[in-house]
Structure formats: C-alpha cells, structure tokens
Amino acid sequence: NFMLTQPHSVSESPGKTVTISCTRSSGSVVSSYVQWYQQRPGSSPTTVIYEDNQRPSGVPDRFSGSIDSSSNSASLTISGLKTEDEADYYCQSYDSTFWVFGGGTKLTVL
Amino acid sequence: EVQLVESGGGLVQPGGSLRLSCAASGLTFSSYVINWVRQAPGKGLEWVSALSGSGVGTYYADSVKGRFTISRDNSKNTLYLQMNTLRAEDTAVYYCAKSTPRALGVIFWGQGTLVTVSS
C-alpha cells in the first residue's frame, strides 16, 4: 500500500494564490488519477478536482489540479483566494481495489 | 438534482450491529459505483467500501473486511452497509458517495450519518 502526504496547514491572504501538495510514497503518481476534496467546517466534503485536473460543474476555474512526476506529487492550486475557500482539503488516489486519502490540509485565508 | 440521503446511524455497544442506508435520487442509480467513506471525529477521510452498479463487484478496506457487508437494491435506489462486530474505532460519520464515471474517486457526497460505538 502507498500513502499520500499533505502539509498539515497552509495560509494565505485573500486574492493571492496558494498551492497544496500531495506526495505519493511509493508507486508512480502518474499511474493513477488524483482527486481533491474540499470540506468546510461542519459540512460534508465536496469534489473540486477529479482525474488530476478536471473540475466538476459548478466549481470555479480558480481551482486547478496538476501532476509532477519528478516529485511524484499532485498539487491543488487555488487562485484569487476568497474567505469562503477556508476549509480542509484532501487528496485521494487508488491502487487496484482500494482508495487512499491524504491526511488533509487546513487552508486558512487571512 | 442528485441527492444521497444516509440514515440508520446511532449509538451501539461494542460488538453490536447496525445497518446504514443511502437513498439516492436524481441519477440512474444502477449505472454507478457507490461508496461508503467515513470520518472519525476530528480526523481525516477513510474509504470503507464500494459496490458496482450491478451489485456484483464488492470492495472493502482491510479495516472492515469480514465485519461489514455492502449491498444495494437498484429497484429502490438504495445502498446499504451492514456493520457487524462494531468496535470503538468504527465511530465516525459515514458518507455515501457516488463515484466518478471511471469509479476512481468521488464526484458527489451525501450529508453523512453518525455512528457511535460506545458502552
């Protein structure tokens, strides 16, 4: 089994751009798609990126996803930060018959 | 509009059983892999189980294999999770989650139902 490691927390100011990383411990990050989920306090998660860089309908294009094979990691980038983006963000990928989630990153917009 | 509504959570003693339900609407239910994902209080997300649209392919996390059983009734647009031999570490909010078209992640989440295992 592999692990997905995320920074525990990140912070940035409104209007700025922030990038959250998700590093795969073993196996290649390009071998299986990565998803990203947003969870605001007291709410259920929502999907902001699926299949590395696809946005579900209704998700603003301020959210983007990418993969870097050199660092074996995926990234979620949020531009034009808004206070409503303050939330926990989780990456997720899979291996054969099971899914793996990262530990989550708390984004503070201050 | 897609809706996934979980029910059946509650307080149960260690070693006990509980059955969760997830009622779906606004989608062709039998066409999608549906999952259960849980979140312990103050912790991150953990995938629990998945079931193919036909109900034939079942998948479980090692932490619940042999204790939990996932099933579905496509005529009722409902997914179930039968949880037996419950442990304190099974305490969590359980989310029903619709898979992406390739079933590699979640595209839509329910609101969740809380399961508390305690004496």
Tens digit of pLDDT for each residue in B33-89?
999 999 999 999 999 999 988 888 899 999 999 999 999 999 999 999 999 999 999
Q: Which residue of A has its CA nearest to B58?
A: A97
Query: Are residues B104 and A98, on separate chains, in Cβ contact within 8 Å?
Result: no
In chain A, the percentage of residues whose pLDDT exceeds 90 is 95
| pLDDT of amino acid B55 | 83
CA–CA distance from A53 to each of A48, A79, A92, A97, B3 (Å)?
9, 15, 13, 22, 25
- As beta bridge partners, residue B114 has B93
**Do B114 and B9 form a contact (C-beta atoms < 8 A)?**
yes
A83 pLDDT exceeds 90?
yes
Sole residue written with tokens 């995320």: A6
| pLDDT of amino acid A60 | 97
Give the minimum alpha-carbon distance from A80 to chain B in angstroms, rounded to a whole number. 24
Cα–Cα distance measured from residue B100 to residue B114, given in angstroms and rounded to the nearest whole number = 24
| Residue-wise pLDDT tens digits, A16-59 | 999 999 999 999 999 999 999 999 999 999 999 999 999 999 99
Nearest to B45 among A46, A90, A94 (CB): A90
| Residue-wise pLDDT tens digits, B95-118 | 999 999 888 999 999 999 999 999
Whether B22 contacts chain A with CB within 8 A? no
Nearest to A44 among B35, B62, B109 (CB): B109
Q: How many residues does chain B have?
A: 119
* HSE toward the beta carbon, residue A108, CA cutoff 13 A: 6
pLDDT band at A97 (very low <50, low <70, confident <90, very high): confident
Interface test with A, best of B100, B111, B113, B114 (most A CBs within 10 A): B100
Interface test with B, best of A43, A99, A105 (most B CBs within 10 A): A99
Cα–Cα nearest to B109, from A38, A67, A6: A38
